[in-house]
Amino acid sequence: MMTTQDLLAFAALALAVGYLVWKFFLRKRKKKGKDCGPDCGC
């Protein structure tokens, strides 16, 4: 039986995993092109 404490803890886990996934895989990076140096490849 899940207690409130268990729910809170698993919510924190979901938040932590969600944040890392967003940070490293989903977040859209700033559009390339502005202020690029020569031969930067973009």
Partner 1 sequence: MADNTIKVALIGNPNTGKTSVFNALTGLKQQVGNYPGITVERKQGTCLLPMGFKATVLDLPGTYSLNASSIDENVVIELLMNRNDKDFPDVVVLVTDVENLKRNLLLFTQIKDLEIPVILCVNMIDRMQLKGITLDIPYLEKELKTRIAPVSTRKNLGIEHLKKLIVEYNQLSTEPCLNASSIDPAYFDGLRRAFPNQLLYKLWLVITQDVNFSHLNKNFLDTHNFAKPNPELKRMQQKETIKRYQFINDVLKVGKITDTSKARDLRSRIDRVLMHRVWGYVIFAMLLLLIFQSIFDWSSYPMDWIDGGFAWLSAWVSEHMAPGTFTDLLSQGIIPGIGGIVIFIPQIAFLFLFISILEESGYMSRVVFLMDKVMRRFGLSGKSVVPLVSGTACAIPAIMATRNIENWKERLITILVTPFMTCSARLPVYAIIISLIIPKQRVLGIFNTQGLTLMALYLLGFLAAILSAYVLNKVMKLKARSFFVVEMPNYKLPLGRNVAINVVEKTKAFVTGAGKIILAISVILWFLASYGPADTFGKAEQIVAAQVARGTVAAEAAESAVASYKLENSYIGIAGKTIEPVIAPLGYDWKIGIAVLSSFAAREVFVGTLATIYSVGGDADNEEPIRAKMAAERRPDGSKVFTTATGVSLLVFYAFAMQCASTLAITKKETNSWKWPLFQLVFMSAIAYVSALLVYEIWK
Task: Give contact residues for partner 1 (rule: CB under 8 A).
Answer: 3-6, 8-9, 12-13, 15-17, 19-20, 23-24, 29, 32-42
Residue 7 C-beta: closest distance to partner 1, Å: 8
Q: With contact defined as beta carbons under 8 Å apart, do 42 and 36 qualify?
A: yes
Residues 6+ apart with CB under 8 A from 32: 42
Residue 33 C-beta: closest distance to partner 1, Å: 4
Residue 3 C-beta: closest distance to partner 1, Å: 6
Residue 32 CA to residue 42 CA, distance in Å, equals: 7
